[in-house]
Structure 1
Amino acid sequence: MTSSPRSGHCRYLTAGLWLAQVAVAIVFAASGFFKLFMPIADLAAMMTWPGDYPSPFVRAIGLVDLLGAAGVLLPSLTRIRPQLTVFAAGGCVLLQVLAIAFHASRREFSVLPLNFVLLPLCVLVLWGRGRRMPISARAKDAAPGRGA
Structure 2
Amino acid sequence: MTTFKQNTKFKTLITWILQILLAASLTYGGLMKLVTPVDQLAQIWPWVSQVPSQLLWGTAIVDLLGAVGIVLPKLFQIKPQLSRWTAYGILGLMLSAIIFHVVRDEGKVIGFNIFLMILTLILLKLWKSE
Fold shared by both chains (TM-score > 0.5): yes
Which stretch has the larger CA shift, 30-39 or 120-129? 120-129
Distance 1:85 1:125 in 2: 10
Q: Which amino acid aligns with 1:132?
A: S
Please show how residues 1-148 of structure 1 align to structure 2 within 5 Å.
Answer: 3=2, 5-129=3-127, 131-133=128-130
Between stretches 42-51 and 61-70, larger displacement belongs to 42-51
**DSSP-derived class of the 1:80 partner:** coil
Give the CA deviation at 1:31.
0.2
Shift of 1:89: 0.6
1:22: how far off?
Answer: 0.2
Aligned counterparts of 2:55 and 2:107: Cα–Cα separation in 1: 21
Corresponding letter in the other structure for 2:5: S
Paired with 1:125 and 1:67, the residues of 2 have a C-alpha distance of: 18
Q: Aligned AA for 2:129? A: R
Say how many residue pairs are matched.
130
**% identity of equivalent residues:** 32
Moved more, 30-39 or 105-114: 105-114
Report the CA distance between 1:32 and its aligned residue.
Answer: 0.4
**Comparing 31-40 and 67-76, the one that deviates more:** 31-40
Q: What amino acid sits opposite 2:70 in the alignment?
A: V
- Partner amino acid, structure 2, of 1:92: I
The Cα of 1:126 is off from its aligned counterpart by 2.6
TM-aligned CA deviation for residue 125 of structure 1: 2.4
Aligned partner letter, 2:12: T
RMSD: 1.4
Most deviating of 84-93 and 115-124: 115-124
Deviation at 1:66, TM superposition (A): 0.3
Q: Which letter does structure 2 place at the counterpart of 1:109? A: G
Superposition deviation, residue 108 in structure 1? 2.1
Taking the aligned partners of 2:86 and 2:35, their CA distance within structure 1 comes to 22
